[in-house]
Structure 1
Amino acid sequence: MTLSASAPATATRPVITAWSAVSPYGIGKDRFVAGVLAGQDTRSPLDRGQWAAPDSHACLIPGFELREVLGKKGTRSMDRVTGLAVTAVRDLLEDSGDRRTASDEETALVLGTTTGSAQSMMDFTRASLEGDKPFYVDPSLMPNAVMNCAAGQCAIRHSLKGPNTTIAGGRVAGLSALSYAAGLLASGRARAVLSGAAEEFSDARAWLDHHRRGEDGADTVLGEGCAMFMLESGDVPDARDRALAEVLAVQSRVYADDPGDALSGCVDGVLRRAGVDARDVWAVSTSGPAGSVGEREREVLTARFGEEVLGRAPAMTPVGDTAAASAAFQIGALLAAAGQPGTPRGAVALVSSVDDNGVVACAALRLTAH
């Protein structure tokens, strides 16, 4: 089965004109770029006074306290994943500044996630079960238990009045959001789209992952963060002049047991749709999930492109398993590599994302950053 929501081949392809990151390297894309290019390991011991997770280490955003980062107004009941997304959108809008080509009504937001905040959902459910009556709950916490809370809060806080979409896609969510954003631009539903993905670290997420991963992923270290990208139509001259990358194609497929055939077919499809040959691919970024799925991903891509091509993309292992945010961080890492000496302008890069829940996705980008 093949799923594709890329812009039609006859339409002008979208371009990425700005981006932001809130990651275990810190707040801001500059810290992400420096950390990811250096391969800096971000894992650290968990503070048992703050966390009750089953793991001993995690890759957390240093010093990320909501009220310190965003101020006291509107943050009293805000959960962590919402805070990550709101911060990344704030930084993205500051980076793009008055260069935005769209009004508030023409600016859309597409946010990828796994389930929203598992912690908020569990806390709200627990309050209902433990209270004297099921409806004795804090109503201010209810919005956090809804999957699209983070996207909605980003729009409210930053006056984004265009289409607002949440896509629950697990590890491939960042690429699914990118594909959906391209569709909004191609259909004329928006002139600019803020597209990305977010994932929080929490006790609830850590325990859920602990019970589902099994021995195959026993060495998993969880991470968190959010990366956001400004997408604009490539037919806008000013946008093309500012382009950091052109989104050539995005595709996804599903598999039952072995992701190998699905990933190989997805690579074929995305390259065909992008109009490039495998020999033209300069770098390939792998998602690298723990266990046999990650090993199979690397095996398939190495056989197709070779170790040298895979080695040109910064490794994402140092930031841990960032789940829904992983593919967005992979794109950010490629943009970071594109700005380095020796990277050919116009190089084609491939993003691969494999989730052990039975989904693979690929995106082809043409890197235009100097």
Structure 2
Amino acid sequence: MSVAQTERTAADAAGNGGHDRTAPPVFTGIGVTAPNGLGTKDWWSATLAGESGIRPVSRFNASRYPATLAGEVPGFEVTEHIPSRLIPQTDHMTRLALTAAAEAVEDSGLDLDELPEYAAGVVTAASAGGFEFGQRELQALWSKGGQHVSAYQSFAWFYAVNTGQISIRHGLRGPSGVLITEQAGGLDAVAQARRQLRKGSRVMVTGGVDGAICPWGWTAQLTSGRLSTRDDPRQAYLPFDAQAAGHVPGEGGAILILEDAETARARGARRYGTLAGYAATFDPGPGRGEPGLRRAAELALAEAGLTPADVDVVFADAAGVPELDRLEAEAVNQLFGPGKVPVTAPKTMTGRLAAGGASLDLAAALLSLQDSVIPPTVHVTEQAEGLCLDLVTAPRRGPVRTALVLARGFSGFNAAAVVTAAE
């Protein structure tokens, strides 16, 4: 059987029905669990108000560690969001992911039962998996013996567990997967979901929710050397600032519904925006060439059929590490010209959420298109010398038709996505 015949067979199995797959897919649902808001409405309101969710760690005693601040999702009562049967078998991270996914599905207005059996799937991003669950069970193993380890340890720690639990809870039997590219994963997962739509799926649940705010996860994150050790939440995470000294980690992210454009149009769905372009690159080794972030942005714009002049805002990766901030500013300035495009980093209110960070930025970009406003970068008061960015530090009203979202994962992953207002 030829490749074309194979893809046609897969499309028929998914209930494609001969749909035109050339139109870019659209986002029809958003679900958020973030350190400055549980649920999309609360998070977006807090973001536009410049309200930060960065605080001293409360999920464990971090006083003996060099870093003591985190972005933790507020007001999350697990019994209000997760069925009791799932609580013993899920990590905190997965519970947040299930909550965001349920909101996204409801927001989309989809009746999943009306879709063909294999027409909807799940692709999420992860950085490590259920660290908190794993730590607890390993402690039981060391202190009490193997008979005291939960049988759920076999999958609750696994980096693909969010995809699995979301697919089971919502009966999504279509193509599924997981991307492991740290902060870039939130964009990479959405791109993989787009590939599945092109092959014949109608709906994909995608994005990323992450978090490892526990001693084991904290120790792992400290090894990067990029965590801020300041104890003032207003001074700890200052990307592009003259006083930048690392980032604050957080938990949460966003789950999005990415839908075939024709399917969404046929059912009269609200469309937040279109995934017009995407690209990924990888940084070369030291001394072997320039970082690949600018190239990723160029490729994403080219796929979208747009030029830098078409972009209304850039959602920055915003590492908070002076050298990495400088490299990102250079990439933006080389592409757009110094100070020629508004740049924002609303993650200053949440911390960096690993695999959940870029998908939350994507959600912010989509709501920027909808509400014609660019959310602010908070706490940055003195831009580092020579960066020359038009950094948005207060909500900026005005038409937003095209947004570029940038993300960099630890170890050299780069991703860029272009979203445009739905026609």
Same fold by TM-score, threshold 0.5 exceeded?
yes
| 1:6 aligned partner | none
Distance 1:221 1:283 in 2: 24
Task: Give how far 1:31 is off.
Answer: 1.1
| 1:25 aligned partner | 36
Give matches, 1:245-284, under 5 Å: 245-255=273-283, 256-257=285-286, 260-284=290-314
Distance 1:49 1:212 in 2: 20
| 1:210 aligned partner | 222
Answering whether residue 71 of structure 2 is matched by residue 73 of structure 1, we say no
Higher helix share: 1
| 1:224 aligned partner | 251
Task: Work out whether residues 297 and 354 of structure 1, in 8 Å CA contact, stay in contact via their aligned partners in 2.
Answer: no
Give matches, 1:1-370, under 5 Å: 11-47=22-58, 54=65, 55-98=67-110, 102-103=115-116, 105-132=118-145, 137-188=149-200, 190-203=201-214, 204-213=216-225, 219-236=246-263, 237-238=265-266, 242-255=270-283, 256-257=285-286, 260-291=290-321, 292-305=323-336, 306-307=338-339, 309-311=341-343, 313=344, 315-341=346-372, 343-344=398-399, 347-368=401-422
* Higher RCO, 1 vs 2 (CA within 8 Å, ≥6 residues apart): 1
Deviations 1:97-131 (A, max 9, x none): 34667345311111111011223334444444444
Distance 1:53 1:148 in 2: 31
Matching residue's letter, 1:58? A
* More divergent stretch after superposition (173-182 vs 241-250): 241-250
CA pair 78-197 structure 1, distance change in 2 beyond 3 A:
same
CA pair 285-108 structure 1, distance change in 2 beyond 3 A:
same
TM-score, with length taken from structure 1: 0.87
**If you compute each CA radius of gyration, which structure gives the higher value, 1 or 2?**
2
Matching residue's letter, 1:183? R
Matching residue's letter, 1:94? E
Distance 2:227 2:188 in 1: 29
Distance 2:173 2:227 in 1: 46
TM-score, with length taken from structure 2: 0.77
Task: Work out whether residues 280 and 348 of structure 1, in 8 Å CA contact, stay in contact via their aligned partners in 2.
Answer: yes
CA pair 308-80 structure 1, distance change in 2 beyond 3 A:
farther
Distance 1:74 1:68 in 2: 12
CA pair 365-239 structure 1, distance change in 2 beyond 3 A:
farther
Task: Work out whether residues 348 and 366 of structure 1, in 8 Å CA contact, stay in contact via their aligned partners in 2.
Answer: yes
Distance 2:226 2:33 in 1: 29
Structure 2 stretches lacking a partner, 5+ long: 1-19, 230-244, 373-396
Task: Work out whether residues 316 and 345 of structure 2, in 8 Å CA contact, stay in contact via their aligned partners in 1.
Answer: no
Task: Give how far 1:146 is off.
Answer: 2.0
Distance 1:273 1:366 in 2: 13
Task: Work out whether residues 257 and 358 of structure 1, in 8 Å CA contact, stay in contact via their aligned partners in 2.
Answer: no
Structure 1 stretches lacking a partner, 5+ long: 1-8
Task: Give how far 1:53 is off.
Answer: 7.3
Matching residue's letter, 1:300? A
Task: Work out whether residues 53 and 202 of structure 1, in 8 Å CA contact, stay in contact via their aligned partners in 2.
Answer: no
Task: Work out whether residues 293 and 356 of structure 1, in 8 Å CA contact, stay in contact via their aligned partners in 2.
Answer: no
Aligned length: 357
Task: Give how far 1:39 is off.
Answer: 2.1
Q: CA RMSD in A?
A: 2.7
Task: Give how far 1:361 is off.
Answer: 0.8
Distance 1:173 1:124 in 2: 27
Task: Give how far 1:183 is off.
Answer: 0.4
CA pair 153-352 structure 1, distance change in 2 beyond 3 A:
same
| 2:393 aligned partner | none
